[in-house]
Amino acid sequence: MGCRHDQTPQECEHFAILRSLGGWFTPMKIVVLVKHVPDAASDRAFASDTTTDRAAVDCRLSELDEYAVEQALQVVEKAGEGEITYLTMGPEAAGEALRKSLSMGGDAGVHVIDDALHGSDALATSLVLAAALGKMEFDVVICGMASTDGTMSVVPTMLAERLGLPCLTWASSLSIDGPAVTIRRDDDDASTTITGTLPAVVSVTDQTGEARYPSFKGIMAAKKKPVTTWSLADLGIDPAQVGLSAAWSVVDSVTKRPARQAGTIVTDEGDGGVKIADYLASGKFI
Amino acid sequence: MGEILVLVDHVDGAVRKSTTELLTIARRLGEPAAVFLGSGLDSALEVLGRFGATKVYVVDDATIGEYLVGPKAEALVAIAEKASPSTILVSSNAEGKEIAARAAVRLGAGLITDAIDVDADGVATQSVFAASYVVTAKVTTATAIITVKPNAAAPEISETTPAVENVAVSYSAIATSAKITSVAPRAKSGRPELTDAEIVVSGGRGVGGPEGFGVVESLADALGAAVGASRAATDAGWYPHAFQVGQTGKTVSPQVYIANGISGAIQHRAGMQTSKTIIAVNKDSEAPIFELADFGVVGDLFKVVPQLTDEIGKRKS
Ligand SMILES: Cc1cc2nc3c(=O)[nH]c(=O)nc-3n(C[C@H](O)[C@H](O)[C@H](O)COP(=O)(O)OP(=O)(O)OC[C@H]3O[C@@H](n4cnc5c(N)ncnc54)[C@H](O)[C@@H]3O)c2cc1C
Ligand SMILES: Nc1ncnc2c1ncn2[C@@H]1O[C@H](COP(=O)(O)O)[C@@H](O)[C@H]1O
């Protein structure tokens, strides 16, 4: 096996020796789940069938999945080698989320695309992603903490449940050491350390640290990285199990909340605090 | 009417207010039965009865606290399989959502997350796209699982003496595959909980550093309010992340939200723009926070906020 371009000859030799020691040392395989979503900074809206309108606004790689990409890249950098594949389920444009991820680093993409998937709920999404993962090799699956459109934070757990894997969620830091994966999770009442054995599913929060920007070289390299597409037939899933008509919850109505109106804005002339007190008193808050 | 299961959110038997809200909602839908997992039932039972739980299912074993959500999810599933509830209500926090996700897959139940209200027909209201839309949705499967945000209902007392039913659960290997190896409890501030508070006083990058939060805390204490922070402030380590308001922090909807030195980025607005009244102090008159403030002062927060705190003190005495 040849050396990777980002390895020193020493590192390359080191890993060759480790590999020769027997089957136990194989480079880590990571799958990162990335979703293509309407930009949270744009005026998001619903289509007439009450699904998220993906046509009216700019879409992008979910900002919260960038943290998952970054963590995967860091795991590989720390280990010295490893393979990262990005997996997305979504319409054609979702391929852009794969390209963006690949421009940050990593090796390949898998795109599950099928017209029947339109309007799938989290249960169906996890069914499809679990089937895709079933066809892939991995030691760890890294997800974002939530998609910025659905904000459910349930897909990683549902995947783990379906695949029968340990699930370590809401990591604010992540480390992988041999067969063990350990996270720190900062809940309201406590900071907790959690450990599981690979293979496992992990979700990471925006506390894990800023994601890198793609370099020009990265963007060029991403164009040549392989992306495989799979349909529902490739995954052996009956289209009747997914999509809007199969969803186990239905949206009855969507109503735009009236935008908040600006109220009274005053400039402090030495009495700004008193003016707020007056305002609070007028509302009987003090 | 069928049973409605309410998963009790508690710390060693101290029941969170959100659970009393869920019990109140459950009474609209049917017969509320609480699911209490872990130890501390004795202190919880009175509260559960006061808010109308006619039955309490209890699973109390050592496994529950040793692993991340897996055992709790399997315990809830085991009870749901016995009780065949039409609806399972769970608090919408990290743990609750995860238990709900596992239970939904196991039970083949539809799932709605982050409801801000649930009516007698089981129709859930959600606030989506950074609170710019209100959506109503309903689960179509025989059992519905709904995670509900804090403050979705005003807790109503309905005294009962719940029947207690102990349930033994045997866990699968997968339930015990994510082990909790250490827990460092966070110090309590003594202030109201961020998501429950009537008034929230927040600080952002404009407070300039950890010391700057002193003026924010003093105002909060004068008002009996909770303290919140923007991500800029929590990222900088000026205030703990647990107090972050916004997309990746808490959603708050208090009577009054006072934003100090916060610009009003979309991700921050996502967590506070459903507050009844918004007050902002910012030295930049162009700051987007003023677009949604009911009352705003363009000025230096280190002058305005201490003056406000003093003024509240004066008017109180
Ligand atoms: C994926 C993602 C998730 C995010 N999640 C969140 C989230 O949950 N919550 C959140 O808050 N942000 C979140 N953010 C960050 C968000 O985009 C903003 O960067 C952040 O809210 C800015 O915080 P700020 O308003 O305190 O700081 P800034 O935007 O820097 O604003 C500081 C304000 O203070 C004012 N100021 C300075 N000095 C004074 C003074 N002496 N007196 C009065 N005013 C003063 C300035 O005029 C300025 O308006 C997220 C971002 C991303 C990408
Ligand atoms: N359609 C999708 N394709 C790929 N990954 C997804 C998809 N939906 C959700 N995920 C992953 O699951 C995480 C949580 O999503 P959610 O449960 O929708 O909030 C996201 O951050 C992604 O990592």
User: Which residues make beta-bridge pairs with A29?
Assistant: A83
**Residue B204 included in any domain:** yes
A182 contacts B266? CB cut-off 8 A: no
Per CB-CB distance under 8 Å, the chain B contacts of A281 are 315
Question: How much of chain A exceeds pLDDT 90, in percent?
Answer: 81
Distance (Å) from CA A106 to ligand 2 centroid: 19
Q: Select from B314, B308, B275, B307 the least CA-distant residue to B131.
A: B275
Same domain assignment for residues B142 and B42: yes
Distance (Å) from CA B269 to ligand 2 centroid: 23
**Distance, CA of B71 to CA of A194 (rounded, Å):** 14
Same domain assignment for residues B132 and B230: no
Q: Quick one: tokens of B298?
A: 């363009």
- The amino acid occupying position B9 is D
Same domain assignment for residues B101 and B238: no
Neighbours of B266 (CB within 10 A): 16
Residues with CB under 6 A from ligand 1: A 63-64, 206; B 204-206, 230-233, 244-249, 261-263, 265, 267-268, 271, 281-284, 287, 300-302
Same domain assignment for residues B53 and B131: yes
**Residue B136 included in any domain:** yes
Tally of domains in chain B: 2
> Which of B97, B183, B304 lies at the smallest CB-CB distance from A273?
B304
> Domain range for residue B109?
1-164
Q: Select from B212, B253, B248 the least CA-distant residue to B231.
A: B248
**Residue B14 included in any domain:** yes
Q: Is the pLDDT of residue A21 over 60?
A: no
What is the model's pLDDT at position A2?
46
Same domain assignment for residues B5 and B133: yes
Same domain assignment for residues B6 and B140: yes
Tens digits of per-residue pLDDT, B209-264? 999 999 999 999 999 999 999 999 999 999 999 999 999 999 999 999 999 999 99
B98 contacts A169? CB cut-off 8 A: yes
> Which of A50, A196, A254 lies at the smallest CB-CB distance from B177?
A196
Q: Which of A5-14, A229-238, B29-38, B202-211 has the lowest mean pLDDT?
A: A5-14
Pocket test residue of B202, B238, B267 for ligand 1, highest count of atoms within 8 A of CB: B267
Same domain assignment for residues B132 and B2: yes
Same domain assignment for residues B149 and B298: no
> Which of B130, B178, B299 lies at the smallest CB-CB distance from A194?
B178
Tens digits of per-residue pLDDT, A83-100? 999 999 999 999 999 999
User: Which residues make beta-bridge pairs with A204?
Assistant: A144, A171
The class (CATH top level) of A9-246 is alpha beta
Same domain assignment for residues B108 and B3: yes
Structural domain boundaries in chain A: 9-246
Cis before A179? omega within 30: no
Same domain assignment for residues B115 and B238: no
Same domain assignment for residues B100 and B15: yes
Closest residue on chain A to B189 (Cα): A189
What is the model's pLDDT at position A254?
95
Instruction: Indicate which CATH number applies to the domain containing B261.
Output: 3.40.50.1220
**Residue B212 included in any domain:** yes
* CB-count exposure of residue B203 (10 Å: 0-12, 13-18, 19+): buried
B95 contacts A274? CB cut-off 8 A: no
Neighbours of A229 (CB within 10 A): 13
Q: Which residues contact B157 (CB under 8 A, 6 or more apart)?
A: B50, B51, B52
Pocket test residue of A30, A110, A155 for ligand 2, highest count of atoms within 8 A of CB: A155
Same domain assignment for residues B218 and B128: no
Q: What is the mean pLDDT of residues A179-187?
A: 94
Q: Is the pLDDT of residue A1 over 50?
A: no
**Residue B191 included in any domain:** no
Q: Is the pLDDT of residue A267 over 60?
A: yes
Distance (Å) from CA A146 to ligand 2 centroid: 6
Question: How much of chain B exceeds pLDDT 70, in percent?
Answer: 100
**Residue B267 included in any domain:** yes
Query: Which of the 8 DSSP states describes residue B210?
Result: T
